[in-house]
Amino acid sequence: MAKILILGGGFAGLIAAKRLALSLDKSHEVTLVSPNTNFTFYPALVHLAFGECTVDDISFDLAASLKELGVRFVRGEVIRINPARRKVEIAGNDFDGELGYDYLVLAMGRRLATEKVPGFFEHAQHLLGVKAALKFGELVSAFRDGKIVVGMCPDGRLPVPVCETAFALARKFETEMNNGKIRVSVIFPGSLADAFGGANLHKELESAFERHNISVHYDVPISEISFNEVLSSKKHKIECDLLMLVPPFRGQGMLRGLGITDGEDFVRVDGLMRVHGLERTYAIGDIVAFSGPKFAHMAVGQAEVAAENIFAEISGEKPCTEYYHEIAAIIDAGGPDSIYLHYGVWDDSLYQLKKGRFWSWAKDSHDAFWRMRNK
């Protein structure tokens, strides 16, 4: 019998657990550890902020979903990992102690490093959580006039919700923006191509912003936030009355002592999703040290690769399934300016860009189907 221990219950952890539970026979044990009992569908948090869905629409009981598949769920925090003993120390209400493993999957996600930008906690909002999205939504509902700025901090690595928030604001405040009462601006720390892993969608996206009266500022690496003002390391000063930013991303500092992380605490892996320097250990999702943005579909793809390779190892075969790093994203502008981008981050010969109202509908349909299939 093999014991597979998955640390993290986001997109990567959930899909890895499901794929392994469905492929392995019942003599093997799959355990998932997460501090949260609920799964949140993060791509829909913009819709939540603007009152287009409810919390129940975009979340479900993670423990119950896993139980149906025979996966053991442990609610708790990871304290430390001991690879030599193949043990993980967990602290939680329903379990407090060590869990052993034969195969370990690191799927703990990224940390929001708001401390990297002085003033972020006091003066900025973000959308990377249910409470945060609801709070931003309340501020938007109460907003009457002034300047709204949305954007990414350096190392934010999540451009789609920035764009979608700007378009949602433009739809909500169309009249006020036309008469100059409200202004919406978008900030990127570098170029648009930098934000999207090298993909060229400048012409299509910038023309969409212009049609919605949204101004765009490139090469603004935010370094500090004060009351009603954003400052950059390149001496920009941008006024704002409401600010929503994607904060810098970092990996998990508790992994630093294992010698498996880069300078930002992300885990180094090979193309099979195996962790460099540790046996029988895989890493998937936002915790991985891959270049480019960090999207949910990437985490899902990495989880599927890791699950296939773990299954191969347990079956006595050589793991050979490789991950292909690509962007397959839709920027939902709520209408004909919606954009579909398919781009190979490691192979720029793959490039597709399409535009139209269909892609807004396609994203809503895809997301609803994904939640229904995986809950």
Name the architecture of domain 114-248+327-374: 3-Layer(bba) Sandwich (3.50)
* Alpha-carbon span 84 to 295, nearest angstrom: 32
* Alpha-carbon span 187 to 245, nearest angstrom: 9
Quote the longest CA-to-CA distance of the chain. Answer: 68
Residues linked to residue 123 through DSSP beta bridges, in sequence order: none
Q: What pLDDT does residue 121 have?
A: 95
Provide the 3-class DSSP secondary structure of residue 283: strand
Please name which of 299, 371, 337, 360 lies closest in space to residue 10, comparing C-alpha atoms: 299
Question: What are the distances in angstroms from CA 206 to CA 137, 236, 349?
Answer: 25, 21, 23
DSSP class of residue 189 equals S
Same fold, 3-51+58-110+251-314 and 114-248+327-374: yes
N-to-C CA span, the chain? 27
Provide the 3-class DSSP secondary structure of residue 107: coil
* Alpha-carbon span 291 to 41, nearest angstrom: 23
Which H/E stretch holds residue 230? strand 229-232
Please name which of 249, 284, 260 lies closest in space to residue 10, comparing C-alpha atoms: 284
Q: What pLDDT does residue 348 have?
A: 84
Band the pLDDT of 179: cuts 50, 70, 90: very high
pLDDT in tens, 245-282: 999 999 999 999 999 999 999 999 999 999 999 999 99
Mean of per-residue pLDDT scores for the chain? 96
Q: For residue 159, report the phi and psi dihedrals to the nearest 5 degrees.
A: -80, -25
Mean pLDDT of 64-69: 94
Please provide the CATH number assigned to the domain covering 3-51+58-110+251-314. 3.50.50.60
DSSP class of residue 350 equals -
Q: Domain map of the chain by residue range?
A: 3-51+58-110+251-314, 114-248+327-374
Q: What pLDDT does residue 54 have?
A: 96
Tokens of 289: 């040290």
Instruction: Say if pTM beats, i.e. exceeds, 0.75.
Output: yes
* Alpha-carbon span 40 to 56, nearest angstrom: 9
pLDDT in tens, 88-132: 999 998 889 999 999 999 999 999 999 999 999 999 999 999 999
Provide the 3-class DSSP secondary structure of residue 311: helix
